[in-house]
Amino acid sequence: MPKRKFSGAMPRQSRSKSNLSEEEKKIRRREQKKLSIRRARAKMSEAALEERRKKDRERYRKKKEQGQIKTIKDYTPRQQRNTCLCAIHTNNNFMVRALYNAKAIAYISATELVKSLCCDTGLTLYCLERDCAECKEKTIQHNDFNDNDTITYERWITKTVTVVVKGQEKKCKKTVKEKVVTTKKKLLGILQSNLPTLMKHIAYVMHQSNAILTIKQRLRPGHGLLHIDFPENYNCKYGQEIQSAHFGGSKIQLSLHTSVYYYTQSEPSNNYTKNNSFCTVSENINHDPVLICVHLHALINRILELSPNLKTLHILSDGPSTQYRNKSMFHLIATYLSKEFGVNSIIWHYSERGHGKGAPDGVGGCIKRICDSCVATGQDVASLDNLMLCLDKRCKVTDLSRATTPNSIEVPGTPDAPTEPNSPALTDRMTPDNLIMQPILRPKKRKFWISSDTDTDDDAPIAKKTYIDMLTSDDENIF
């Protein structure tokens, strides 16, 4: 019998089906089914693929109504471990839960409490702003209790504490969770006084969510929506480390800026919204307005390929005053980004405080998970080059690029940006002699508009618009 030649590749090590358990067989069948679905969808046309997606969404909705799909509420607090909770929602939930456990009220969460104070038809802006004539007089219904009974609840609070650094006492601010002991009557009064702020906060979140959804549904050729965010910096790691490298400060951090771009190639009547995810990586971990422009500069060519006739660009982000929402960023939007993108208008949307999470955070989590899986297999992800090499092999969906500063970012009214890794902030490079800015007038209120469904032409006069006035406490510190 002739000898079989060795091809040089090791045979695939897999267990036969007879040696697999029932659970392992089920997992293997599920993976094979997913693979066959992906292959079938790759051969479909665009119209057939959209029809398939509609059926999948309908199937998902039915399963969710039947309780076959778990939501975040179905998991235990240990499984959830939310690390970016809204302070307003969380503190009010603490108070409501404490009163519920003390059998003072029948509501288990702040959302249930707010629903009980609105009309039975559901949460609407008029009800949440207490403009509805039917429900604006509703108050919290509570059981009878002794006014002097004590109750303990938790709250998140920012305090000024004294710390010792190198033998010297310094004061700094820290956010901590503390326990508070008070009476049931006082806690109920605090909750009652917090209701207007909580209900307006929920109204703003609802309105902004509907506004962004409307923008996506009405996208047309020449219009695009870019959702951006800074995830946490990635801590570089080695596959194997000595003790001093693991516990010391030898490892560097890399700044990630993730974004998702939504666009379409057809009119709103039958448009299909497409999306493309991006991630730019930089060794400069500053998140100031200049570095934001550097990260966005790396996306310009790719976005213009997806939308060649881009005229109006919507940008959605959260609203930290040190990053996206400050006068330096506004100046760069008007004088630099609008010219680089070649658009007629840039409309920047800032999400409500504590509710800035979205699709870019999922992109950042995927990028970090891929890098950590490389480290788990013994590879080193200790520099920008290592990270890009790892992602080029394993990440095929997200467009990756290095956020390298060009020879100069020429911004009218500001000197050219230096190319050093640790460039100073924009305000440090501006002087009264070379800074020419038009005065920026701060409006008394911010208004978010949603045009009526009958409007189809941007140039045509809009007969009716609905809006909501917004004025939050942190607006006083914008300028």
Is 246 inside any structural domain? yes
At 95-119, the pLDDT tens digits run 999 999 988 888 888 989 999 888 8
Band of residue 245 on the pLDDT scale cut at 50, 70, 90:
confident
User: Are both 348 and 258 inside the same structural domain?
Assistant: yes
User: Are both 198 and 266 inside the same structural domain?
Assistant: no
pLDDT at 1 exceeding the cut of 90: no
User: Are both 228 and 196 inside the same structural domain?
Assistant: no
Query: Cα dist. 380→209, 272, 281, 384 in Å?
Result: 41, 41, 17, 11
Is 226 inside any structural domain? yes
Percent of the chain with pLDDT over 70: 78
Is 111 inside any structural domain? yes
Query: Cα dist. 472→85, 182, 385, 448, 449 in Å?
Result: 18, 28, 43, 14, 17
Residue 297 three-state SS: helix
- Give the Cα separation of 113 and 99 in Å (integer): 12
**Structural tokens at position 176:** 């901590």
User: Are both 247 and 365 inside the same structural domain?
Assistant: yes
pLDDT at 478: 27
| DSSP β-ladder status, 274-282 and 253-263 | antiparallel
Is 295 inside any structural domain? yes
At 401-446, the pLDDT tens digits run 777 655 445 444 443 333 333 333 333 333 223 222 323 223 333 3
pLDDT at 78: 59
Is 307 inside any structural domain? yes
Q: Which long-range contacts (CB under 8 A, 24 or more apart) does 85-88 make?
A: 85/354, 86/201, 86/353, 86/354, 86/355, 87/156, 87/354, 88/197, 88/198, 88/201, 88/353, 88/354
pLDDT at 136: 84
Average pLDDT over residues 270-276: 81
- Give the Cα separation of 391 and 118 in Å (integer): 49
User: Are both 252 and 340 inside the same structural domain?
Assistant: yes
Axis-axis angle for helices 87-101, 184-217 (nearest 10)? 140
Band of residue 452 on the pLDDT scale cut at 50, 70, 90:
very low
Is 7 inside any structural domain? no
Q: Does the model's pTM come out above 0.75?
A: no
User: Are both 148 and 224 inside the same structural domain?
Assistant: no
pLDDT at 398 exceeding the cut of 80: no
CATH of the domain at 394: 3.30.420
Buried b (16+ CB within 10 A) or exposed e, 45-69: eeeeeeeeeeeeeeeeeeeeeeeee
- Give the Cα separation of 299 and 406 in Å (integer): 13
- Closest C-alpha among 383, 154, 403 to residue 290: 403
User: Are both 242 and 364 inside the same structural domain?
Assistant: yes
User: Are both 196 and 225 inside the same structural domain?
Assistant: no
Residue 189 three-state SS: helix
CB 360 within 8 A of CB 232: no
User: Are both 235 and 182 inside the same structural domain?
Assistant: no
Band of residue 14 on the pLDDT scale cut at 50, 70, 90:
low
The DSSP 8-state label assigned to residue 160 in this structure reads E
CB 82 within 8 A of CB 95: no
pLDDT at 146: 86
User: Are both 141 and 256 inside the same structural domain?
Assistant: no
CB 382 within 8 A of CB 251: yes
To the nearest whole number, what is the mean pLDDT of the chain? 77
Q: How many domains does the chain have?
A: 2
User: Are both 255 and 396 inside the same structural domain?
Assistant: yes
pLDDT at 23: 79
- Give the Cα separation of 131 and 200 in Å (integer): 11
Is 32 inside any structural domain? no
Residue ranges making up the domain that contains 415 = 218-433
pLDDT at 18: 64
At 61-93, the pLDDT tens digits run 888 888 788 776 676 665 667 778 889 999 999
pLDDT at 335: 87
Is 158 inside any structural domain? yes
User: Are both 300 and 411 inside the same structural domain?
Assistant: yes
